[in-house]
Amino acid sequence: MSANDKQHMKISVANPTALGLFGLAMVTFVASSQKLGITTGLSFVIVYAIFLGATAQLIASIFDFLHENIWGATTFGAYAFFWYAVATCWLMKMGVFGKELAAAADVNQLGFAFLGYLIFSVFLTIGAMEVNKVIFADMVVICVLLAALSLNAFGIAAHTTHMIGAMAEMVTAIISFYAAAAVVLNTHFGKPFLPMGKPFGIFK
């Protein structure tokens, strides 16, 4: 073999989508319970934000890159770092990194962060139209959630946007649980055990 020859090795891995969806489902399920007033405080929410919302989705992202799935890898990766950032903001607000950082926090910066993720999620939602209808529905609700979070952070109709965000987050959890189950069981049984809905077929 000459020095100019290139050898490519493809690593075969299982579909990581269910893990990423489960991570999303768990963190939004726990976080929405706090927003809805069912539970109180963020101490335990932070744990699920770091390990499920962030780390599980990051693992799914890495393996989706190996699958050459640019949409899935980008989506899971971006949302993983979203939850790492949110968990860090919560820790900062609690004074874990010192009183000075907590006192200097400007919630409007969170508003811009949520707005940035909303912009990002809109074009992901367009891409989701060619994934399946369940994932598309999940993305639409996530866009509603991010819009509500952004408006709430900017102090716009605070009570209303808080409740819209809380409900959207719970719906995100429910859809994500279903989607995770569908990916696992459909793959495991080798047939559509739980329907996901065909892609819209508009762009492909």
Alpha helices in 43-197 (DSSP H): 43-48, 57-66, 70-93, 99-104, 107-128, 133-153, 158-189
pLDDT greater than 70 at residue 2: no
Predicted pLDDT at 10: 67
User: Sorting pLDDT into bands at 50, 70 and 90, what band is 204?
Assistant: confident
Tell me: the pLDDT tens digits for 90-112?
A: 999 999 999 999 999 999 999 99
**Does 61 reside within a domain?**
yes
Residue 10, domain member (yes or no): no
Under the banding of pLDDT at 50, 70 and 90, the label for residue 12 is confident
In a domain, 122, yes or no: yes
| Assessment of whether the complete model's pTM goes beyond 0.85 | yes
Return the structure tokens found at 32.
């929405």
Print the domain residue range for 113: 17-185
Query: pLDDT band for position 184 (50/70/90)?
Result: very high
Residue 147 is predicted with a pLDDT of 98
pLDDT at 13: 84
- The residue assigned the tokens 């529905």 is 137
pLDDT of residue 178: 98
What is the tens place of the pLDDT at every residue in 52-97? 999 999 999 999 999 999 999 999 999 999 999 999 999 999 999 9
> What's the CA gap between 191 and 187, in Å, rounded?
7
Range 11-28 average pLDDT: 94
The pLDDT of 123-152, averaged and rounded, is: 98
Cα separation, 74 vs 110, whole angstroms: 21
Tokens of 23: 């991570």
Which residue from 104, 78, 73, 70 is spatially nearest to 89, judged by alpha carbons?
A: 104
The domain tally of the chain equals 1
